[in-house]
Amino acid sequence: MEVEEEKEAFPSNNDCLAEAKCDGQILKEINSEPTESFDVQNSLPEGKKEFVAPAVGMEFESYDDAYNYYNCYAKEAGFRVRVKNSWFKRNSREKYGAVLCCSSQGFKRIKDVNRLRKETRTGCPAMIRMRVVDSNRWRVLEVTHEHNHLLGAKIYKSVKKMGSGARSKLQSSSDAEVRTIKLYRALVIDAGGNGTLNCNATGGRKFSDHPHQLNLRKGDSQAIYNYLCRLQLTNPNFFYLMDFTDEGCLRNVFWVDSRCRASCGYFGDVIYVDNTCMSNKYETPLVALVGVNHHGQTVLLGCGLLAGETAESYTWLFKAWLTCVSGQYPQTIITDRCKALQTAIAEVFPKSNHRFSLSLIMKRVPEKLGGLRNYDAIRKTFVKAVFETLKVIEFEAAWGFMIQHFGVTDHEWLRSLYEDRARWAPVYLKDTFFAGLSASRPGENLSPFFDKYVHKQTPLKEFLDKYELALQKKHKEETLADIESRNSSPELRTRCSFELQLSKLYTREIFKRFQFEVEEMYSCFSTTQLHVDGPIIIFLVKERVLAEGNRREIRDYEVLYNRSASEVRCICSCFNFYGYLCRHALCVLNFNGVEEVPSKYILSRWKKDYKRFYVPDQGSYNVDSIDHMQWFNQLYRSALQVVEQGAISLDHYKVALQAFEDSLNRVHVVEEKQD
């Protein structure tokens, strides 16, 4: 039942929203789900403020809270509020839905047109629509911000014309308004752009000045706020958290857009923590969580802006990401050699394999060793020890020779590097899965995800603009690779059955990498048995490799083969490092008459149809009967499968679009029955 209410809105004495706590830290999450604000205890900052705008997904404890909030926002913006419609339950007369609108909404009724009172309405579209949800909270379902008339003067003029009773009512409500604004203070923005509230604004970013808060230039907090609010409204599965100090200063921010969040489900098994901007003291204190997709391309899994390189900030970031992915631990995490990162990962991801980026270590060799006498000789010996040793005993001997021969026993960086060798040297990491992010071959690098988009002096506001450009480019590359993999057949270069088999399964780029291993089988000229223990046989594969000075040398590779278990493992550990079998393992399979690569060595994450047929977190079909977030996540994953299938061709697209429209109509039928 609809009731038209023609009253002006004044704030009530109720406090809006609830505060969200996570391990003692104040957080904000927007995930197309309840939006929660913060209870900040200190006084309001001086000067004019811009009240946080209403957004879809906001929730309030009661109707009065929502009513009070929208009126406070309206007064700040310069318009008055009217209750357009209300809906009540038939039996209890309990209110369950409402539309709040601008007082200029609509037009006079026909019977009132001839009255002397001047027409003041303009048909203004500004409004919010809300209703009670299962949690008994009032959720904002629809928002229109645009007005079709001037704002500002009208409301103050009307206050002057109030009678004494109305003025008294307005005065008595002022305390409630202050409490409401204080409650929203975490998102209040100074007109000058200072987002650190009562904290001092900084003209430039000095990391040592405020180690426990995000140091921002003027306008940065406004840019962050505008950006996150815009994504919340336009991105269906957008997720973000904000962390504030007890004084209300912004400390850390984390966000993941919908497509990146979907990538977390598909490609969150191996993560590279790209803290290039933090470690090099960039203007933008950015940390990117990066994975690798089914084409071997890097994909973004999350972004953070941190107050500093502290264990506390990194711990908060990782907990935020873990919340986003519903507690799914990554198998492997690759980071810079940083004590703060080690501490944070040990706390948040104790079950994950934490490894140091070999790429970053090799980049620092000139900086750390460049001043030594005989640097060139030391570098060559270092590279040989890292990349050419296949057994731990060989690495230890090569490292010991370098230290003794060049007299660098007391070199601090080499000493600390040796102590951490089990986390970065390839010879120690053969049981760790890297999905190609290991950079375990000479010349391989892990470039910063936002390389060419962010440099040392890039301002935060400029980065937020470039962020979407970078992601659009990455998404376009992935889409084109998907189309190419589905619609074309790679050229076969050998008669090997392994090549034919995987040309039908792998994406184009991963197949090219595997195809290179097949071609290089012909550089392996000898496969002999070394040892037999029941079904287990150790083979020795000899290979001619290109060495320094374009000369060829012969290297020996041991390969374990278990006939009964269809298991093959090479000492080079190509499968764990890159996710496909090496030439040495293929030689052993071929030697034993095996015509197809065993299924356990064909990873689904490299298949061209992986995203269309794999549903992350299959167990979530058994959803909680009251968990709205779980419902949303499962629906989103299921819809994503239809999207992936629908993008194959125009016919697929038309069918998928029609299916979505049919589903939406059926959901509306259910909603109408409930009303």
| C-alpha span between 577 and 555 (Å, rounded) | 19
CA distance linking residue 459 with residue 220, whole number of Å: 9
pLDDT at 670: 78
Domain C-terminal end among 297, 326, 357: 357
| Domains identified in the chain, total number | 5
For residues 77 and 385, the model is more confident at 385
Question: Which residues lie closer than 8 Å to 150 by C-beta, 6 or more apart?
Answer: none
- 498 & 420 share domain: no
Q: What pLDDT score does 32 carry?
A: 39
Does the pLDDT of residue 12 top 50, yes or no? no
Q: What is the pLDDT of residue 546?
A: 83
* Residue 49 placed within a domain: no
Q: What is the CATH number of the domain that holds 286?
A: 3.30.420
Query: Which DSSP category does 506 fall into?
Result: B
**Average per-residue pLDDT for the chain:** 80
563-606 pLDDT tens trace: 999 999 999 999 999 999 999 999 999 999 999 999 999 999 99
Are 401 and 528 found together in one domain?
Answer: no
Q: Output the six-digit token pair for 332.
A: 């492997």
Is 230 domain-assigned? Answer: yes
- List pLDDT tens digits, range 537-570: 999 999 998 887 788 899 999 999 999 999 999 9
User: Strand pairing of 536-546 and 524-533?
Assistant: antiparallel
Quick check: helix, strand or coil at residue 28?
coil
Domain end marker among 298, 332, 357: 357
Based on the domain organization, do 336 and 366 belong to the same domain? no
In a domain, 675, yes or no: no
Same domain, 250 and 365: no
**Triad 607, 610, 615: Cα angle to 5°:** 155
156 in a structural domain: no
Query: Are 231 and 351 in the same domain?
Result: yes
- The answer to the question of residue 589 being in a domain is yes
Domain assignment of residue 35, yes or no: no
Does 634 lie in the same domain as 554?
no
What is the domain extent for residue 636?
628-666
Q: What is the pLDDT of residue 1?
A: 43
Assigned domain for 397 exists: yes
Residues 536, 548 within the same domain: yes
More confident residue, 159 or 626: 626
360-401 tens-digit pLDDT: 999 999 999 999 999 999 999 999 999 999 999 999 999 999
Q: What is the largest CA-CA distance in the chain?
A: 106
Instruction: Say whether both 302 and 364 belong to one domain.
Output: no
Does residue 273 sit within a domain?
Answer: yes
Q: For 233-270, what is each residue's pLDDT tens digit?
A: 777 788 999 998 888 888 999 999 988 998 998 999 99
Chosen domain end from 323, 357, 391: 357
Closest listed residue to residue 220, CA positions, set 309, 283, 301: 283
651 in the same domain as 559: no
Residue 591 and residue 642 in one domain: no
Lowest mean pLDDT among 349-353, 456-460, 614-618: 614-618
Contact 586, 498 (CB under 8 A): yes
- What's the pTM? 0.69
**Identity at 428, one-letter amino acid code:** Y
Residues 348 and 248 in one domain: yes
Please name which of 291, 550, 543 lies closest in space to residue 434, comparing C-alpha atoms: 291
Amino acid at 638: S
Tell me: do 515 and 398 sit in the same domain: no
